[in-house]
Chains A and B, each alone.
Chain A
Amino acid sequence: DGGITQSPKYLFRKEGQNVTLSCEQNLNHDAMYWYRQDPGQGLRLIYYSQIVNDFQKGDIAEGYSVSREKKESFPLTVTSAQKNPTAFYLCASSIELTPMSAQYFGAGTRLSVL
């Protein structure tokens, strides 16, 4: 089955620790995105990538980093510089970067601070 797999489903971070959220897609999509969702809020863009080895900052990139070494993988690292990381993180992909392309989402990762 084609889709987007995010892991882990739940993640806990200790003070000063970097953690990495995995996002893998087998849809052969070019574009991938990371969003953050806080209670009572819509989704906000952290990073996006159009092609392999290229990515751009979104609205709230501070304290986060990404890589895109393979087309199917777009991991997100939450660094210790992100002072308020508790949130629900959603990864998405679309077949290409056009306004008509619908985005398809993974099931999300809930990150909490210990």
Chain B
Amino acid sequence: DIQMTQSPSSLSASVGDRVTITCRASQSISSYLNWYQQKPGKAPKLLIYAASSLQSGVPSRFSGSGSGTDFTLTISSLQPEDFATYYCQQSYSLPVTFGQGTRLEIK
């Protein structure tokens, strides 16, 4: 199975900050990397697919980059509604696997 490792596990930031979350795969997954946002008590929401493509309706302050084994999710200017948990997921091969999550908290 492909292991996905996110860092950091938690992060404190302020509104307006630029934030970067990293995801590393245990083997190359090309660009088969997706990012999700989850708020408490809610289902995950797809933000970025294929490493860098913005899902329809997602604000442009979210961006993704990377290929192979190393990927990043960047939020250019944090908004109050962005405080949530973020997960990366590889869809290169089964079983589908997720990172452990990064909890983004208000400083």
Q: Are A and B interaction partners?
A: no
Binding site for A on B (CB under 8 A): none
